[in-house]
Structures are given as structure tokens and as C-alpha cells.
Structure 1
């Protein structure tokens, strides 16, 4: 039988990236104990106020068809939020509402790229990014994010990768999995590069409300000089603890939204109005839940650092934002997936291998910060015992 080339382009880029998460789930279903630190879900349930908002909207009859751009109430709420944050008017014609950041990014790449296009992005990267780019026929061009720059993407490194086929630069700030936050000067330099070479600048900003401590998030839209080529995406999945509602959006030039609208309508023809009403209530409120969550996650990153940094050669990288810490295991092994599988089998602690996020993170682990403090401490104790008990023979053969 014949299949479309997209199925070949995406082979191995879906659930194959999440082997450890699937193994942890299978272990739990088998009745075995597991501390699952693989998935970046919020550490609290969706607030009752948002659930009641969705229920009220359903009871009010908001269960019909919508449209490809979004419900007026949500578009107005997004316009008010972005205008207030950016200090200038951002009209409703610059937004499109879709089921989550993932769908928004899929629409963006399908609308901007084609076979032969190249998209520059940082390595490591979120596990689905390569698939999003390849789905459009474009080729991802990775740029190594270096620890000495705190994993922040550098304009000078991007410049070396630009060719005549480059169509876009893809940012993720705050970054998953490293927790890096691009500074205003970083963004200005990257924006100037995009202007010079007439490139699109795409930015996934879903963790924007989850900065830690003194870190401050700056949107790629902050500098109006570049706004005619910038498209950002976000959602309520992380900031409002509502991942299962699949409610996100993009903000870009009005012309982009007009050009992309038929594609959105072909894909979905609108999201659920009752979820749009709930989302409008969410984005109109201050990010109180996100700030509290970020504080807890920063504290857990500190717990992990205190417990594991320096143990048996481990090094813990503390994030500036987001839901993850990184553990450098290169002193022990460069096979992060084998290490993570062995760790799960021996201790019941599930973490993500760095290789799931790109070649640059091989020899690292990504650890979610959404478990309770007590589970986080217990997981660290198990990891410490595991690495301290490893023999040279085990390092050579098992890991």
C-alpha cells in the first residue's frame, strides 16, 4: 500500500521519544511503585473556578460550532492581556485560538514552510519540535545550546547556520528542557538577524508565567521593530493547570492570521466555545496560580541540587523557569536512555533521558519538578544510592 511521505518523515518522532514515560506507566499498571518525574504537568489540579466557568458555559448553551479564528470573548481577553504586557495595542486580528500550543505550532509551520525550507532551532529542544518542523516538509537545523551560556540560544551561533533555504528561527523561551530564559539583548540580537535575512521568528512561550526567583521573562514580541515577522504561541496548559482542556493560541501579524485562517478552518473549524469562555476567564486573571507553582518548582530544583550535585560525579543544572531540572551524568555514562531504564528498574524512579530532547543533551537527564517535596527528596535519595553503588563493570556493560 502507498502512504504519504509525511508518514516517513515522522517515523520515530512520536511516542518513541517517550519510552521512559510509557515504561513508568506500565510499571504502575502492573502494581509496582514508581516516582514518575517524566512529564511536565502542573502540580495542582485545574482550579475549581475554571471548571465551574466551563460548566456554566455549557449549561448556557455554549456547545455549538465556533470558527477558525476564535470566540470574540477570548480574542478580546487576549488582546487586553498582550496590550497590557507589551505596553502597546495588540489587536484581536493578531490572534488565532487553537487546541493547545502544539496545534498552534503545527499550523504555523504548515503555513510558513514547505519541502526544502530550513528552520533553525536550539538543541536540546522539546521532544515534539523536530516532528512539527518535518511535518511541513522543512528540515530542522539544530544549533547547540551550550552550558557556558546557560543554554541560551546565541545569535552568533544562529548566523553560522543561515542558508538561502532558511525560512525561520524557532525559539522556546522559557526553554524546555533547560529552563533557560532569553534576555532582551538576546532577543534583540536574534531579531536583528531575522530582519537582516528576512526570516520568520517563531517563539513558543508557554512557560512565560513560570519564571523562578529573580528571572524575568521577555516575549519575542517585546521589541516592536520586529513584530511584523514574529509569531508567538502559548496556552493555559501550564500557567493555569489545565493541560487536558487543550486551549492555546498564537499571536502574529494580522496578515499571517488572515493567510493561515483557511488552513485552520480546514484542520479544525474552531475550538469549543465553552472552553474558549473558560480560557477568557483564565487569561483575564492575574497569574497567581502560576507564580505559586513556579515558587514550589524552584524550591524543588534547589532540593535536587542540594541532594545530588557532586554525588558520584553528577552535576545538577538549576533552571531559571519551567518545570524541569537537568542532571549531567556524563561522568558516569553517555547513554542516557540506558541509564534511565536501569534507574527505573532498580529504584522505581522515572526520569527522561536527555537524548529524547536532542543530541546535545545526550549524557543528561531531565527531571520533572511536579512531584511533592517528599517524593522529590525520596527520588533523590534513590538516585544517589543507585549511582554510588555502580561498579566499574556495571558502568562498562550495563549502562
Structure 2
């Protein structure tokens, strides 16, 4: 039988990257003592006030059809939120609501790129980004994010990869998997480059509310001179510990949203009204759970660095935001994939191989910071022992 070419383009770009995580879950289900440091799921449940709000909304009959842009109350609340945060008026016609950031990015890229186009994307990158770009028919062009620059995209590295086919500069700040946060100067320089080459800027900002102390978040949406070419995406999944509700949005130029609307209507024709009601409440005030996660994750990152950095050749990259830290395991002589596989089999700690996030993290692993403190300490002990054993065997 014949299939659309998109199925070939996406082959190997889906769940295959999470194979080690799936294996760890199976081992845990079988009763093994697995410390799971793979996925980025908040370490607290969705606040009761939000689940109760959804339940009340359903009880009131808010279970009918919605529309392609989003429920009016949520759209208005998002426009108010972004107007206040960005210091300029963001209209309701600049907002689109879709189920989760993943769906938002899928739709936005579908609207901005097509066959033979090119999208600049930082390498390393979140595991789904390559597939999101590839589904459009466009080609992902990796821009190296280097440890010596704190994994922040450098304008010279992006400029060197621009061709006449480049259409989009895809940013992620705060960044997953590195935890890097772009500085105002970075944003201005990359914005100037986008203007020079008439590029769209797509910015995934789902970790905006999870920036660690001493670091300031800046969005390209903050700069009025970039307004006509910036689309930002976010959701309540991380900041409000509500990943299962799949509630996301994008903010961009009114013309862009008008063009995206028929695509949204064709894909989904609206999200669930009761989830929109929950989200309206959630984003209309500061998150009740984000500050606690920021405190715990930044503290655990510090402990991880103190206990692992320099141990058995390991090197820890301290994140500036989010819920992950990176460990450079190249001194062991193993790839990130091999190190993570052996660590799971021999020491029952599940981490993500760096190679799942692009060639730029070959020989690294990513650790989530979402386990309780005592389990994080136990995990670092097991990881250190694993690395020491590898080096001892090599000697």
C-alpha cells in the first residue's frame, strides 16, 4: 500500500527517542528499584483549585464545541497577561489557543514553512523539534549551541547557516535540555539577523515561569521592532503542573493568527471549553506551584554539581531554568546512549541519552530534577559509582 511521504520523513523521529525511558518504566512496573530521571514531569500534582474549576465547568455544561481561536474568556485573559508582561498592547486578535505546546508548534510551523524551506534550530534541541520541522517538508538546519557559550545561540553561528531557503529562526528560551536562558543582547542580535534576512522568529517559552534566581527572562516579543515577525508558544503544562490537560497557546501578529485560524479549524475546530475555563483561572494570577519548583530544582541542580562535577571525570552543566541538568560523560569513553543504558541495567538509574537531543549532546546525558531530594542524592551516588567503575575497568 502507498503512504504519504510525511510518514517516511517522520520515521524514527517519534517515540523511538524515548526508548530508554519506556524500558525504565517497564522495569519499574516489574518491581525493580528504578530512580527515574528521564522525562520533565512536574514533581507536584495539578493544584486542586484547577481540577475543581474544570469539574465545576463540566457540571455547568461547558462540554460543547468551541472554536478555532479559543474560548473568549481565555483569549482575553492571555491578551491581558502578555500586554502586562511585554509592556505593550497585545490584542485578542493576536492570540490562538490549541491543545498543548506540541500542537501549537506543529500548527505554527505548518503555517510558516513547507517543502524545500529551511528552519534554523539550536543543537542540542528538545527531542520533538526535528519531527515538528520535518513534518512540514522543510529541513531542520542545526545551529551549534556550545558549552563555552552557556549553550546560548550565537548570532555568528546562526548567520553562517542562513541560505535563500531559510524561513524561520526557531528559538527555545529557557532551553530544554540545557536550561540556558537567552540574554537581552542575544535576543537583540538574533532579532537583527532575522530582520536582515526577513525570517520569522518562533520562540518556545514554556519554561518562562521557571527561571532560577539571579537570571532574568527576555522574550523576542519584548522588542516592538520585532513584533511583525515573532510568534511565541507556551502552555500551563510546566508552570502550573498541568501537563495532562494539554492547554497551550501562541501569540503573534494579528495577520499571522488570521492565517493560522483556518488551519486550526481544519485540525481541531476548538479545544475543550472546560479546559479553557481552568486555563483562564490559572494564567490570570501567579502560579501557585512554579516558585516551589524553581526553589527545588535550582537547589537539586546545585547539589548535583557539588557531588558529581569532577567525580570520575564527569562534568555537570548547571542549568539557569527549567527542570533538567546535563552531565558530560565523555571522559568515560562511552557515548551518552551507552552510558545511560549501562547505568539503567547495572545501577537502576534512568537518564536520557544526550544523543536523543541532537549531535550537539553526543557523550552527554540529561537528568531531570524532579525526584525527591533523597532520591536525587541516591541517584548521584549510583551515577558516580557507575562512572568510577567504567574508568577503573578501562585502566
TM range (shorter): over 0.9
CA–CA distance in structure 1, aligned partners of residues 389 and 289 of structure 2: 40
Kindly indicate whether residue 316 of structure 2 is the aligned counterpart of residue 316 of structure 1: yes
CA–CA distance in structure 1, aligned partners of residues 121 and 108 of structure 2: 15
TM-score when scaled to structure 1? 0.98
SS in 1 for 2:356: helix
CA–CA distance in structure 1, aligned partners of residues 173 and 291 of structure 2: 17
CA–CA distance in structure 2, aligned partners of residues 70 and 205 of structure 1: 19
1:210/1:321 contact within 8 Å kept: yes
Q: Provide, for residues 136-155 of structure 1, a one-character-per-residue CA deviation record: whole Å limited to 9, x for no partner.
A: 00000001101111000011
2:179/2:324 contact within 8 Å kept: yes
Q: CA deviation at 1:333?
A: 2.4
Q: CA deviation at 1:335?
A: 1.2
Structure 2: runs of 5+ lacking an equivalent: none
Return 128-137 or 148-157, whichever deviates more: 148-157
Q: Provide, for residues 137-196 of structure 1, a one-character-per-residue CA deviation record: whole Å limited to 9, x for no partner.
A: 000000110111100001111100000000000000000000000011100111111111
CA–CA distance in structure 2, aligned partners of residues 390 and 164 of structure 1: 47
Q: Which residue of 2 aligns with 1:257?
A: 257
Q: Provide, for residues 337-386 of structure 1, a one-character-per-residue CA deviation record: whole Å limited to 9, x for no partner.
A: 11101100111100000000000100001000000001000100111111
Q: Which residue of 1 aligns with 2:181?
A: 181
2:332/2:391 contact within 8 Å kept: no
- After superposition, residues 60-99 of structure 1 pair within 5 angstroms as 60-99=60-99
Q: CA deviation at 1:387?
A: 1.3
Q: Provide, for residues 96-154 of structure 1, a one-character-per-residue CA deviation record: whole Å limited to 9, x for no partner.
A: 00000000000011111110000001000000000000000000000110111100001
Q: CA deviation at 1:285?
A: 1.1
CA–CA distance in structure 2, aligned partners of residues 156 and 386 of structure 1: 39
SS in 2 for 1:39: coil
Q: Which residue of 1 aligns with 2:6?
A: 6
CA–CA distance in structure 2, aligned partners of residues 13 and 5 of structure 1: 14
CA–CA distance in structure 2, aligned partners of residues 306 and 23 of structure 1: 29
Q: CA deviation at 1:389?
A: 1.8
Q: Which residue of 2 aligns with 1:142?
A: 142
1:334/1:362 contact within 8 Å kept: no
1:304/1:380 contact within 8 Å kept: yes
Return 333-342 or 235-244, whichever deviates more: 333-342
SS in 1 for 2:153: coil
TM-score when scaled to structure 2? 0.99
Q: CA deviation at 1:392?
A: 5.7
Q: Which residue of 2 aligns with 1:241?
A: 241
SS in 1 for 2:220: coil
SS in 1 for 2:382: helix
Q: Which residue of 2 aligns with 1:38?
A: 38
Q: Which residue of 1 aligns with 2:292?
A: 292
Q: Provide, for residues 252-275 of structure 1, a one-character-per-residue CA deviation record: whole Å limited to 9, x for no partner.
A: 111011111111001000000000
Kindly indicate whether residue 116 of structure 2 is the aligned counterpart of residue 120 of structure 1: no
CA–CA distance in structure 2, aligned partners of residues 11 and 180 of structure 1: 29
SS in 1 for 2:332: coil
Kindly indicate whether residue 377 of structure 2 is the aligned counterpart of residue 377 of structure 1: yes
2:64/2:273 contact within 8 Å kept: yes
Structure 1: runs of 5+ lacking an equivalent: none
Q: CA deviation at 1:29?
A: 1.6
CA–CA distance in structure 1, aligned partners of residues 369 and 381 of structure 2: 15
- After superposition, residues 186-205 of structure 1 pair within 5 angstroms as 186-205=186-205
CA–CA distance in structure 2, aligned partners of residues 288 and 222 of structure 1: 25
Aligned length: 395
